[in-house]
Amino acid sequence: MRAATQNLFIRIHLLHYSEEQDISIREALPRLEQAGYRVADREVKQELENLAAENLLTAHGEEYTLTGAGITELRSIRESLGSMCSEVLAGERDARTAGV
């Protein structure tokens, strides 16, 4: 997966993790690695800071909390992912059926 695509998925995961509980770099890194990402702590920190700069997270020392805008964004992402996954995965099934 290309870096730009991976970073987008990491941002979505960070919003999701922060919905469950406040998240820190130390807590996010192993979860992201478990999800299959190859990422360093500085990259996680940068993404968390970017999300905070966009008012989707609020920083409290080393921990980040999901904001109201972050909740709205995460809901919108989930709706988009639902329809996108259906479309993209259906395309994969169609390609397999066609022998592509």
What's the pLDDT tens digit per position in 23-66? 999 999 999 999 999 999 999 999 999 999 999 999 999 999 99
> How far is residue 40's CA from residue 57's CA, in Å, rounded to a whole number?
20
Q: Which residues pair with 23 in a beta bridge?
A: 64
Q: What is the mean pLDDT of the chain?
A: 91
Determine contact, residues 65/57, Cβ cutoff 8 Å.
yes
Range 82-94 average pLDDT: 78
Phi, psi for 56 (deg, rounded to 5): -95, -25
* Residue whose C-alpha is closest to residue 17's, from 72, 51, 66: 66
* CATH number, domain containing residue 88: 1.10.10.10
**How many domains does the chain divide into?**
1
Q: In what order do the strands lie in the sheet with 63-66?
A: 23-24, 63-66, 57-60
**Domain span holding position 43:** 3-98
